[in-house]
């Protein structure tokens, strides 16, 4: 069995890395991880040791989305933080048989510097953005090295594109971050004719601003879609937003909070006859049960598209889910991701127009089979089939055998 180090640099990347790590660990390999961004929580909660310094920045480690974001991270010390992580990683890497890279140019460059055998899952890049992928320097130069034994990417278009650019076979085997929403058996939410799911994101304080924007949109929706059993609106929240935090925020937005029932203790937000059900740490349940999703999120929106469900975007104040991020996401995920026209032209969210778009899609979801067919088509093209974790780990293990036989 091999000793493997997983290297990732983002929250979504940590999730994919942790899923690969769990599978490899179950197969008998010794697995450790190294997170360049964040605290490595996805690894830690699965019992995988993390050796990164695990510092968080106010931008969430995504300062590349704006010039101010880059400056903010520099002032907060990210440059020195990255240098320290690079040096630490180079000392650690020599103790491993194989490095598994999940992310972009930063861990790719670190792996190249380590001179250790590596495989890389380029989850951060896609040819769907521009039609042809322009890898940032020095990523392409690094990937030309024979030390990178295998390259995996997130969609078939990118695999075909990079195979030509790098003059070597690049594989699309699926996306590990999709497997939890495919395979997890979620509890069934109360059955209704149609359900709107709300995904406000996970990072605070951006989450607070996103919730405020979403609640404004809901006030422009007709009352009947809030009414059981005709319709239901359900929101998926992360644990960092407590009930007390939510209550304070909702009062500022003009909404109130209450507990329904003695056993289930369902939390509801209400504003007159408008009711929204709140579920904590129940992302999969809300997504699997919803017919349409209003999202201000990154990886979560990708998972929704992978489940063949339409997404409505609501651009926010950032630092992540800005108008530019939303526009890039539409190019990445395709025509089943929708945004109100004024939000696109004016580079800002328009509550009433977003509500009108939701209502148009409500009618299409109920009656238009072409939309369902398109959602299925895009899910396979953009995210792939269930089982990406297993297919990638099988390939990684094949490379481990080659390394062991060579040694």
- Does one domain contain both 119 and 268? no
- Does one domain contain both 17 and 148? yes
User: What domain count does the chain have?
Assistant: 2
pLDDT at residue 120 in the model: 98
* Cα-based distances in Å from 133 to 10, 163, 184, 305, 404: 20, 11, 33, 21, 34
Cβ-contact 17, 11 below 8 angstroms: no
Closest by Cα among 181, 159, 188 to 172? 159
What DSSP line would sit under 325-373, residue for residue?
Answer: HHHHHHHHH-TTEEE-HHHHHTTS--HHHHHHHHHHHHHHHHH-HHHHH
Confidence tier at 228 by pLDDT (50, 70, 90): confident
CATH number of the CATH domain containing 48: 3.40.50.2000
pLDDT digits over 190-227, tens only? 889 999 999 999 888 899 999 999 999 999 999 888 88
- Does one domain contain both 289 and 402? no
- Does one domain contain both 188 and 331? yes
- Does one domain contain both 191 and 299? yes
pLDDT at residue 399 in the model: 93
Residue indicated by tokens 């994101």: 201
Strand partners, 153: 122
Q: Which domain holds residue 235?
A: 183-382
Confidence tier at 67 by pLDDT (50, 70, 90): very low
Does 71 have pLDDT greater than 50? no
> What mean pLDDT comes out for the span 292-298?
96
Does 253 have pLDDT greater than 70? yes
Does 64 have pLDDT greater than 50? no
- Does one domain contain both 366 and 262? yes
- Does one domain contain both 243 and 107? no
pLDDT digits over 315-326, tens only? 988 888 888 899
Confidence tier at 36 by pLDDT (50, 70, 90): confident
- Does one domain contain both 218 and 148? no
Across 342-352, b (16+ Cβ under 10 Å) vs e yields bbbeeeebbbe
Does 66 have pLDDT greater than 60? no
User: Structure pTM?
Assistant: 0.89
For the chain, count helices (H), then strands (E). Answer: 17, 13
What DSSP line would sit under 169-188, residue for residue?
Answer: --B----GGGHHHHH--PPP
Better pLDDT: 20 or 266 = 20
pLDDT at residue 239 in the model: 86
* Cα-based distances in Å from 115 to 123, 153, 208, 246: 22, 22, 43, 49
pLDDT digits over 142-184, tens only? 999 999 999 999 999 999 999 999 999 999 999 999 999 997 7
- Does one domain contain both 280 and 338? yes
Share the mean pLDDT of the chain.
89
The C-alpha atoms of residue 57 and residue 11 are separated, in whole angstroms, by 12
The C-alpha atoms of residue 394 and residue 383 are separated, in whole angstroms, by 19
Strand order in the sheet with 30-35: 30-35, 3-8, 98-102, 118-122, 148-153
Across 61-82, b (16+ Cβ under 10 Å) vs e yields bbbebbeebeebbeebebeebb
What DSSP line would sit under 237-304, residue for residue?
Answer: E-TTS-HHHHHHHHHHHT-EEEEE-SSS-EEEEEETTEEEEEEET-HHHHHHH-SEEEE--SHHHHHH
pLDDT at residue 70 in the model: 46
- Does one domain contain both 373 and 393? no
pLDDT at residue 303 in the model: 96
For residue 335, how many other CB atoms are within 10 A of its CB? 12
- Does one domain contain both 236 and 348? yes
Does 68 have pLDDT greater than 80? no
The C-alpha atoms of residue 363 and residue 309 are separated, in whole angstroms, by 14
- Does one domain contain both 133 and 209? no
Least confident piece of the model among 60-64, 247-251, 336-340, 396-400? 60-64
The C-alpha atoms of residue 165 and residue 109 are separated, in whole angstroms, by 18
For residue 182, which phi and psi values (nearest 5 degrees)? -75, -45
């Amino acid at each position: 069995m091999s000793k493997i180090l997983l290297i990732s640099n983002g929250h979504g990347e940590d999730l994919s890395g942790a899923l690969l790590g769990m599978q490899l660990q179950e197969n008998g390999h010794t697995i450790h991880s190294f997170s360049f961004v964040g605290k490595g929580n996805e690894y830690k909660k699965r019992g995988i040791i993390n050796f990164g310094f695990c510092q968080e920045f106010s931008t969430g480690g995504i300062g590349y989305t704006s010039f101010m974001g880059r400056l903010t991270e520099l002032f907060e010390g990210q440059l020195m933080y990255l240098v320290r992580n690079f040096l630490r990683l180079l000392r650690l890497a020599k103790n491993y048989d194989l490095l598994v890279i999940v992310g972009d140019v930063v861990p790719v460059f670190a792996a190249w510097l380590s001179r250790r055998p590596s495989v890389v899952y380029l989850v951060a890049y896609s040819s769907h953005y521009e039609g042809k992928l322009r890898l940032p320097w020095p990523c392409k130069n690094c990937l030309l090295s024979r030390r990178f034994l295998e390259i995996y990417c997130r969609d078939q278009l990118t695999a075909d594109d990079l195979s030509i650019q790098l003059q070597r076979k690049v594989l699309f085997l699926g996306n590990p971050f999709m497997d939890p929403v495919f395979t997890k058996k979620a509890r069934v939410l109360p059955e209704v004719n149609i359900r709107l799911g709300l995904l406000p994101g996970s990072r605070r304080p951006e989450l607070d601003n996103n919730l405020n924007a979403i609640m404004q949109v809901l006030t422009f929706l007709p009352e009947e879609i809030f009414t059981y059993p005709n319709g239901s609106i359900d929101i998926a929240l992360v644990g960092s937003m407590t009930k007390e935090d939510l209550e304070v925020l909702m009062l500022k937005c003009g909404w109130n909070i209450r507990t329904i029932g003695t056993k289930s203790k369902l939390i509801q937000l209400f504003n007159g006859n408008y009711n929204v059900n709140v579920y904590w740490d129940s992302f999969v349940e809300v997504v699997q049960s919803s017919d349409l999703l209003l999202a201000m999120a990154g990886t979560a929106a990708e998972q929704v598209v992978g489940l063949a469900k339409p997404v409505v975007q609501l651009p926010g104040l950032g630092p992540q889910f800005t108008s530019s991020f939303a526009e890039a996401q539409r190019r990445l995920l395709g025509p089943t991701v929708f945004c109100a026209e004024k939000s696109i032209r004016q580079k800002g969210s328009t509550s009433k127009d977003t509500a009108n778009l939701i209502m148009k899609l409500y009618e299409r979801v109920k009656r238009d089979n072409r939309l369902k067919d398109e959602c299925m088509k895009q899910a396979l093209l953009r995210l792939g089939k269930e089982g990406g974790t297993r297919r990638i780990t099988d390939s990684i293990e094949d490379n481990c055998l080659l390394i062991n036989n060579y040694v």
